[in-house]
Amino acid sequence: MVAYARTQATPERAERVSGETGNDQSGGIAKLALLHAEAEETARLANLLGRSFYTAIALPLLGLLTVGLAGSTGLARPLVWCAFVAAAAIAMLHTYFRTIGQPFERVALKSFAKDMSAILLYAGFAWGAGAFLVLPAGINMAAAILFAAAPGIAIAALLREREAVFLFLAPVAVLASFASALKPFAGGALAAGLILIACAAVAAAVVLWDRRGGDFARPAMLPLT
């Protein structure tokens, strides 16, 4: 009877053991997938950290070049604008040096990415303010479009981060288009429309490059909340 009972219980026990083994395998695969995702995110954020240093250097250089080419009369407004742009660069450098000592700590990198999101949004508003503070009234449309689109291209090339381009470029497009209609620039409303189109084209090119397998990291930037 004992032997018979053991024989009858064997399939059930085998099924249970098989199920437990299957669960262990599924759990192992899930853990491996999680570790892979975490490693990928860490590498992406570490790359963003390294590239932010060059962005912090390039942004004020672009600002000085803009002031030199714009030929604005007076110094007060260009100096105020340069201070705005420099503040964004200093904030980038501060968060860079704060994080570079622990470049592969996920908590530190996530905090860095969140700070960068806020800094890039501010940098976009700071740069866009130059349309009012630096660009003279009546400036030709090509120069106004270049003022709005060129820094977005530079941010895309340096950071290689899709969300970074959007955060920076959106306020630049809005402020520059408003300035073209209010100051006004040569072309007025037409210039405003072309600025929006040019900035949208830069953003679309980044998305297209990303979808075709470019090296733009997808969700590296974190929401501002």
Q: Is 85 exposed, middle or buried (0-12, 13-18, 19+ CB in 10 A)?
A: buried
pLDDT cut 90: percent of the chain above it: 53
| pLDDT at residue 175 is higher than 80 | yes
Confidence band of 154 (pLDDT split at 50, 70, 90): very high
CB 186 within 8 A of CB 138: yes
pLDDT of residue 127: 97
Q: What is the mean pLDDT of residues 176-181?
A: 93
Distance between start and end Cα atoms, the chain: 68
pTM of this structure: 0.78
The mean pLDDT of 108-126, rounded to a whole number, is 94
Q: Please check the confidence at residue 114 and state whether its pLDDT lies above 90.
A: yes
Please tell me the predicted confidence (pLDDT) of residue 3. Answer: 38
Note whether 166 and 205 are within 8 A (CB): no
Domains of the chain, by residue range, sit at 31-211
Radius of gyration of the chain (CA): 26
> φ, ψ for residue 57 (rounded to 5)?
-80, -40
pLDDT at 9: 46
Residue 73 is predicted with a pLDDT of 65
Of how many residues is the chain composed? 225
Q: Which of the listed ranges 17-21, 188-192, 214-218 does the model predict with the highest average pLDDT? A: 188-192
Whether 195 shows a pLDDT value over 70: the answer reads: yes
Residue-level pLDDT at 221: 55
